[in-house]
Amino acid sequence: MKPKTIESSERDANTTSGLKTVSIIASTVLVGGIIFALTMIPTNNGVIDHAPRTSSWVSEQTSARRIQAVCPAQMQLADTGSYGDTEFQSSAGNLTSRTRYAAFGSVFHSQVQALGPHQDADATVLTGQSNNGDVMVSASADQQTTPTIFETRLLSAKAGTGAAGALASYATTGDLRGVSAASCVNTALEQTFLVPSTATGHTNQLVISNPTDQPTTVTVQLWGAQSGRMASATNSTLTVQAGGTTTMNLSAAAANQDALWVDVISSDTAVACTIRMIDMDGLTPKGSDFAMPLDTAATTATIPWTNSATSIDLIARSSHAGSVKLSWITTHGLVAMHTLNLSEGKPVVWTPDDVPQHVIGISATSDVDFVIAARVNSADHDGQTDFALVNGRTPMAQSAVALPADVTANIAVANTDSQLATIRFEGMDAAGAIIGSYTVSLDGNSAATFKASELGDDVVAVLVRQADAHIAWGAALTNTQVQHADLQGIAFLPATALHVPQQTMNAARNQSIIE
């Protein structure tokens, strides 16, 4: 099938073929709605108005009509001022970045545009193919110097529908040597993070983006490993203008903590947040990466990738006192590691003595809901190192990863179920065509890795379309230029669930209202 652009005429036709809307707010997190999507669509093909029924109750399942995400700007230094002699000034060097956007399933339009006050200006429309009502479209860009808004409009909440976007930035000179990566972040009223050390040499900068046409006030709450709940040393209430971005230096707000748990709450509109982490030892770069929003706290979590690590720092946090049982995930099951004791509210840091070469990920289980992340550290080369922050994930089924250009990707997948699982991965090219597949058989609670090139040489996205999968996975990234410069460079992109949040609306007839 020839590559196809989804034109406005098609959108009009699709719009009139059964979309019925009601004004409510949907949610990608438990605390609030997908504020950007103020309209909803029924998940079936019927209409909301029904003929009288014998029951006084009417129930409709609805879902978001629009997915909106923000893709962050490339890695940046927190302080770009020029002080003192040139040789001692900080520098981004030859920093380069690439982005990729992909949408799948029951989609009638998907586009990307720069974050700013002028919406729909110079938008790039994703293009690709449509087959039996399933759309696969993509777009890419170079030099992500400003954040972008990634918006996908849906026809229905059909399984396997969603969007995935990603950024990768890399450098071989300057203070950002190595590789950093981030997924595009769905907007929400509340997002939480786990962040490694805020001691001297560790810069952690919270970036809050507001893609809506209304300003909002954001409150940032902090819990430190040493101090527990903390009063920020800087302003903890921030204003984010419409179409704007605001930053907060967490290392200044909560200094000298081994780890931080960060809770970002927006009062008026949904926002998207990331945290830029940059480590230096004097003039020697020690790596950089983005901290991404955590999944909702749960009693189980899986860190799907630890490969290439010479050391790992684990950070866990719960609102309740409890313990977390940690196990290495291998190709043939779990190997017991450690039991981590949690105190109420405080993040806890633990570093294993070594990382066995045969392990792929980490499994964590607890008697209380918790969140966990791993700082995966590369080898040291003449003092220069790099790291990747990998969040613990809850199981997912249909899911995808978008792969930016100029990176080499290895797929890491963990089976979170206790039973044997066979998972089929598919590779999509820039024209929206499936160009290859790779099947992985996994024992219960086991993991595997394979090269994304197994799916084809021109893969721009990897997806899983099995509804019965129970997996945590993602793509570990390296860059050829960084490797040829004999530098360390690692990053990890987690998979994005291809799932549209749904909500059941109940209504009852009450004759007394009109009597």
Over residues 443-467, the pLDDT tens digits come to 999 999 999 999 999 999 999 999 9
Lowest mean pLDDT among 63-67, 275-279, 369-373: 63-67
Q: Give the pLDDT mean for 43-67.
A: 59
pLDDT at 384 over 80: yes
Over residues 318-362, the pLDDT tens digits come to 999 999 999 999 999 999 999 999 999 999 999 999 999 889 999
Over residues 188-200, the pLDDT tens digits come to 999 999 999 999 9
Number of Cβ within 10 Å of residue 16's Cβ equals 8
Alpha-carbon gap, residue 379 to 273, rounded angstroms: 29
CA distances from 355 to 124, 252, 348, 391, 488 (A): 44, 32, 19, 18, 18
Give the model's confidence band at 82: pLDDT under 50 very low, under 70 low, under 90 confident, else very high. Answer: low
CA distances from 429 to 101, 164, 184, 270, 312 (A): 12, 14, 19, 32, 34
Three-state DSSP at 445 gives coil
Tokens representing 165?
């976007």
Question: In 3-state terms, the chain is what percent helix, strand and coil (to 5)?
Answer: 5, 55, 40
Give the model's confidence band at 15: pLDDT under 50 very low, under 70 low, under 90 confident, else very high. Answer: very low
Over residues 115-130, the pLDDT tens digits come to 987 666 689 999 999 8
Query: Are 63 and 505 a contacting pair, CB within 8 Å?
Result: no
Residue 370's closest CA among 328, 291, 315, 290? Answer: 315
